[in-house]
Amino acid sequence: MRIAVLAAMAALMLAGGARAEVIDKGDYGFRLKTVEQIKASPATVYRALFDIGRWWNPEHTYSHVSSNLHLPPTANGCFCESVGLNGSARHGVVVLVIPNHTLRLETALGPLQGEGVAGALTFDVKGGDNNGTELTVTYNVGGARPFIVKFAPNVDAVVTEQAARLKRYVETGRPQ
């Protein structure tokens, strides 16, 4: 099982281009951070977060269809995916919604879900230069499995890729 998880994480690493910064690693967890400058208002960027099925990479879904993802703008909302006939996956739960400012999810993304770890994925938007927006994405992951820290670079690549896709979606209407 561990080999399958590591192989999946290696594949995820190859899918992303740029890397976010791994800003902290400890014995049982890590913290990632990426920042994107987006040419749109904070309100536009914030609204786009909830269009997740239009910008999330389908390769990082169970169904390989991004439009099967749903993310409601309310606390306790399910970041969920429809998978096949009557199938579903809960990727996370919305725990904080501050309109036009912050979205936070409790989530163990992808293969981390099976490792018994906890994660907090936060999207912060704030006004930037030239009427644009600075999007800061942080992902804090921790658990009782010391090898989880080895996943940091691979998870970093996936989170960075999703932030870049969100930026492209907001600026061009297309995630790629």
Nearest to 147 by CA among 41, 52, 29: 29
Total-model pTM: 0.85
Mean pLDDT of the chain: 87
Residues of the chain with pLDDT > 90, as a percent, come to 69
Name the DSSP class of 121. Answer: E
Q: How confident is the model at residue 3 (pLDDT cuts 50, 70, 90)?
A: very low
Residue from 89, 143, 108, 110 nearest 10 by CA: 110
Quick check: 150 pLDDT over 90? no
Cα–Cα distance, 82 to 89 (Å, whole number): 7
Partners of 104 in the beta sheet? Answer: 96, 122
Contact between 79 and 69 under an 8 Å Cβ cutoff? The reply is yes
**Alpha-carbon span 149 to 80, nearest angstrom:** 26
Measured at the alpha carbon of residue 66, what is the angle toward residues 61 and 72, in degrees to the nearest 5?
A: 100
- CATH fold of 2-172: Alpha-D-Glucose-1,6-Bisphosphate; Chain A, domain 4 (3.30.530)
Domain ranges of the chain: 2-172
pLDDT higher than 60, residue 4: no
